[in-house]
Chains A and B, each alone.
Chain A
Amino acid sequence: MRAYLLSRLGQTALVIFLALTVVFFLVRLAGDPVLLFLPMDIQAKDVNEFRQRLGFNDPLIVQYGRFVAGAARGDFGESLRYKRDALGLVLERLPATLSLAGAALALTACVAVPAGVLSAVRRGSIWDHLGMTGAVLGQAIPGFWLGLMLIYVFSVRLGWLPTGGTGGLAHFVMPCVVLASFYSARMARLTRSSVLETLREEYVLTARAKGLAERFVIGKHTLKNSAIPIVTLAGLETAQLLGGAVITETIFAWPGVGRLTVQALLNRDFPVVLAAVFLISVTYTLINLGVDLLYGWLDPRTRREVAG
């Protein structure tokens, strides 16, 4: 188990290193950020001085070496725009992203899993049709459009909810619903198909044959055995929520990592982009590792593979 963990962590580190390398060179190929940050009427001599100070005049390979040495210590340089430590800037935004992701995920789990199970157990009933219609719609409606429409109805027309920003619980409602609508749609469909598949297994038939109450058949024998694909998707969705709430954060002016990343990309503030890329790929890979470890608990048969 320890050897497995170590090798997985080693692979994770390699993947993150490669990702950073690729983004570093892409960003440098993209052009000169210096001109964007200096006033229009500046002298060529001053431009050069600025470039010298930031180290943009050195050969690319030297810049790369300096970047790797810094990144290994968690130093991604100073934000060109805010004149502050880039990683610190990103980490400062993390709590806002985490709280929104947590709330959206909780809402997803509370809506999608029961809806999926109900649709599967009462297959062909009105609940099944309602649930799956909702899921298909939720998957097709783009989050940013749903966000705009919610703002129009609940903020502009009714004046019940704030249009954006953070503050009280009311600020959570719309971003949370927008995020959860897409993710619960996928989750509900997967839950339904996974439970349907498990219900066909022979041990479920056995459990029914020996006269177990339906709630035990479903609760004990079916749910845990249908959980692997659901947990996989939940892990994937958590990871996407942590890094990918870019659009929702932008619409609702939510001060999270996603919005910071978009602004940094627009401003060519590359130290911040690289620090955000680092944080997002670390979260993504660590969550995947966590999901793999959960498999062992859900299905002991996979433990040997994991350990070996």
Chain B
Amino acid sequence: MTEVVAVIRRHALGLLGSLLVACAVIAAVAAPILAPHDPLASDFAASLKPPGTPGHPFGTDQLGRDLCSRVLYGARIALFIGFCTVVLTALVGGLLGLVAGFFGGWPGAVLMRIADVQLSFPFVLLALTINAIVGLGLRNIIVSLSAAGWVVYARVVRGEVLSVKQRDYVQAATALGTGRSRVLFRHVLPNVAPSVIVVGSLQFSQFIVAEAAISFLGFGVQPPTPAWGSMLSESRDFLYVAWWLAAFPGAALALTALGINLVGDWLRDILDPKLRI
């Protein structure tokens, strides 16, 4: 019993984070079941009702749409965008970093110069610029965030590969005449994977917040799609009369980001304590 208590205490923050993430995932997956109303159905007779109104626990917005349903559906959009972006950046950035670190030479050098150019811009501004160019909408925001975010993976993976390459077991495998692709995928890749997972979890919340910020500025996901960022953007016009329009979507965003950050820190402490992001 005391052991259980000790384990819970040591991993308290990680568990809290997992709980928050679990809530967000449940909200996203079960939104159609949990939501009391259609998130897009407007009802002008019931516009701007405060939280606690019967049938509308979080109140309603200027068009009489149920805020609670919109926040629940918002989890769907946020997690979908975050997940797709993390997978896409991990694949593209990870693969490029792997190749650059393993084979070196001029492709690696060129790749790292490209990374330097990208890193000379603030992330949100870069994603915003790309989004303004490729256009609005759900698919394009994923493309923009990925185009701005793959660099971090490429850097971390390349650095890891460079050090793993020097380890004895890789040297031994090469000395035994193992083919290059086998060394790469059987001996190097598995040892780089923990860093990829840690970076991915820490990037996840950054992508979700960046998406919300970009939608907030009027790019990215467009109304009436219930994304947290565009909901916050609309709420600005009603701040004097309806605080709840800003409070609930923002709180959902902050709690989701908090949960993912806590899980990310936890994973880092377990998998890769030396990694500093």
Q: Which residues of A are at the interface with B, using a C-beta cutoff of 8 A? A: 15-16, 18-19, 22-23, 26-27, 29-30, 136-137, 139-142, 144-145, 148-149, 151-152, 156, 193, 229, 239-240, 243-244, 246-247, 250-251, 258, 261-262, 265-266, 268, 273, 277, 280-281, 284-285
Do A19 and B218 touch (CB < 8 A)?
A: no
Q: Give the distance in Å from the alpha carbon of A229 to the alpha carbon of B216 in the complex.
A: 33
Q: Which residues of B contact A136 (CB under 8 A)?
A: 13, 258, 261-262
Is the beta-carbon distance between A15 and B133 smaller than 8 angstroms? no
Task: Give Cα A15–Cα B128 distance, bound, in whole angstroms.
Answer: 20
Q: Is B240 interfacial (CB 8 A cutoff)?
A: yes
Bound CA span A266–B223, Å = 16
Pairwise interchain contact A27-B212, C-beta atoms closer than 8 A: no
Q: Find chain B residues with CB under 8 A from A244 CB.
A: 122-125
- Do residues A246 and B124 form an inter-chain contact, with CB atoms below 8 A? yes
Q: Which residues of chain A are within 8 angstroms of B258 by Cβ–Cβ distance? A: 136-137, 140-141
Residues of B within 8 A of A (CB): 13, 113, 116-117, 120-125, 128-130, 132-134, 205, 209, 212-213, 216-219, 232, 235-236, 239-240, 243, 246-247, 250-251, 253-255, 257-258, 261-262, 276
Given A250-B217, A284-B121, A142-B212 contact (CB < 8 Å): yes
> Across the interface, do B250 and A266 meet the contact criterion of CB distance under 8 Å?
no
B255 contacts across to A, CB distance below 8 A: 140
Query: B121 contacts A142, CB within 8 Å?
Result: no
A137 to B251, CA, bound (A): 12
The chain A residue sitting closest to B132, CB to CB, is: A265
Q: Which 10 A-B pairs have the closest CB atoms?
A: A244-B122, A145-B250, A140-B258, A30-B133, A265-B132, A140-B257, A148-B246, A281-B120, A284-B120, A141-B254
Task: Assess whether B218 is in contact with A266, with CB atoms less than 8 Å apart.
Answer: yes
Residues in chain B near residue A151, CB distance under 8 A: 239
- Tell me, in angstroms, the Cα distance from A208 to B120 when the chains sit together: 43
**Are A240's CB and B217's CB within 8 A?**
no
Whole-angstrom distance between the Cβ of A39 and the nearest chain B Cβ: 23
In the assembled complex, which residues on chain A have CB atoms less than 8 Å from the CB atom of B209? Answer: 142
* A5 CA / B243 CA spacing, docked (Å): 53
Complexed CA–CA distance, A127 and B129 (Å): 41
Check A261 against B125 for contact (C-beta < 8 Å).
yes
A19 touches B129 (CB 8 A): no
A136-B129 Cα distance, complex, nearest whole Å: 29
Whether the pair B254, A142 counts as a contact (CB closer than 8 A) is yes
Contact of B121 among A19, A26, A251, A273 (CB under 8 A): A19
Please give me the residue from chain A that is nearest to B262 by CB atom.
A136
